[in-house]
Amino acid sequence: MAYILKTLSPVHIHSGEVLKSINYIVKDYKVLIFDEMDVIKSVKEEELLSDELLRTFGSDRRKEYNKTLDYYIDKGIIDSSIIKEYKAEATNKTEDLSGQDIYRTMTNIYGSYIPGSTLKGVVRTAILYDYLLNKDIDYIKKAVDFLNSRDGRSYTIDDYIIYGMATNRQTKPNIQEDPFKFLGIKDVNMVEKEFEIYEEQIYNIKNFIPGNVIETIKEGDHSESFEFEIRLNKSLANMYNGEITRYFKEEELLRVLYQYSKDIIDDEIEYYNMHKHPLFNTKEIIEKLEQIQSQNSVNSPVLRIGKGKGYKSNTVALAIKKLDRKYYLKEIKNIARPSKYNKNYEYPKTRKFVGSSISPKLLGFTILEKVDR
């Protein structure tokens, strides 16, 4: 069966590239993005040693001192012919972009795309989530005890599940024994290839903290079609964790993705109902989450991917909370090992959003839809 992935909110999967202000121009609500090598080649020969230009390339000054490409064109430092050479454009959704670094999303020669490893990561976590829900809390307690022991400090709960450490404490994680290598999903290109630039904000219950400026895949875009590739050889299946490989059926993958997303969305709705702020429009956030929840189904599950999806969407922590909330609250510092832990709030107490606090948007929601080849 073939599927496409549709974005229900802006999606950012960081490529590792950070776009400096000299490599873009803000013009008529659009951001024109230029290749850095093209910019360097367009510096006029007599300006190659310009102090201002060298300081721009060589330092990380405060944004108000950083200038966009058009400034250097107007100053006669860079040739104006580069204007025709922009490689991409995005809609500017920030209040004041000038001078800020832009964290770029994943792109290739065709435009924006979703890495197969990102999609496989969601499937993997959804399977482990369902696996834990079918265990009792004693299994979790033994796992946490092991992880906090001298022998288990370098491992995760994922390792404990996948490699059967509950029954064989001498087992060491070995990628050759990981059954998830038999599950494949290719990189999928987006079709409309439209980008938007947002300033990220961190909602920290009592205050707001500025985040990065990020390039996102536009809400409403969709991918080319793709399939789940299940390559498990039945004759080899007994060499791996059979409780995991039993999930490697398409209907099972859809089921666990649906349940995982359902519980994540319910948890997010609970969070925003509990933690309100007079300057933050939680009502709009909750309504959007309820709308997304209504679209989530076994045949067409929601997936939350990329930056901003949150700690619980990236781990099995929510399964532990559902099995025993008191234990979760007591042991979260050992399970999550957060760098900062505030016992007055359930970890994590922060959420990321884009747009204004009056009309905030959550990041990373997508939905799988079946299509004919």
CA distances from 354 to 114, 190, 202, 280, 282 (A): 20, 21, 9, 12, 13
pTM of the full predicted structure?
A: 0.91
User: Is residue 95 one of the residues assigned to a domain?
Assistant: yes
Q: Are residues 190 and 296 in the same domain?
A: yes
Q: What's the whole-number mean pLDDT along residues 345-359? A: 89
What does the DSSP assignment read for 117-176?
Answer: HHHHHHHHHHHHHHHHHTS-HHHHHHHHHHHTSTTTTT--HHHHHHTTTTT-TT----GG
pLDDT in tens, 18-51: 999 999 999 889 999 999 999 999 988 887 777 7
Domain of residue 132, residue span: 2-11+112-371
Helices (DSSP H) in the chain: which residue ranges?
Answer: 36-41, 51-58, 69-74, 116-133, 137-147, 157-162, 242-245, 250-274, 282-295, 317-323, 325-336
pLDDT in tens, 63-90: 556 789 999 999 999 999 999 999 999 9
Lowest mean per-residue pLDDT among 9-18, 92-101, 330-339: 330-339
- pLDDT over threshold 90, residue 190: yes
Q: Are residues 146 and 275 in the same domain?
A: yes
pLDDT of residue 60: 59
Tokens of 258: 């649906």
User: Is residue 187 one of the residues assigned to a domain?
Assistant: yes
Q: Are residues 320 and 264 in the same domain?
A: yes
Which of 100, 125, 151 is the endpoint of a domain? Answer: 100
Split into its structural domains, the chain has a count of: 2
User: Is residue 156 one of the residues assigned to a domain?
Assistant: yes
User: Is residue 348 one of the residues assigned to a domain?
Assistant: yes
Which of 52, 71, 100 is the endpoint of a domain? Answer: 100
Q: Are residues 150 and 35 in the same domain?
A: no
User: Is residue 16 one of the residues assigned to a domain?
Assistant: no
Q: Are residues 198 and 243 in the same domain?
A: yes
Q: Are residues 202 and 56 in the same domain?
A: no
Q: Are residues 6 and 26 in the same domain?
A: no
Q: What's the whole-number mean pLDDT along residues 338-354? A: 78
Indicate the pLDDT class of residue 173, thresholds 50, 70 and 90. low
Q: Are residues 7 and 25 in the same domain?
A: no
Task: Report phi then psi at 67, rounded to 5.
Answer: -115, 145
- pLDDT over threshold 70, residue 169: no
Q: What's the whole-number mean pLDDT along residues 263-271? A: 96
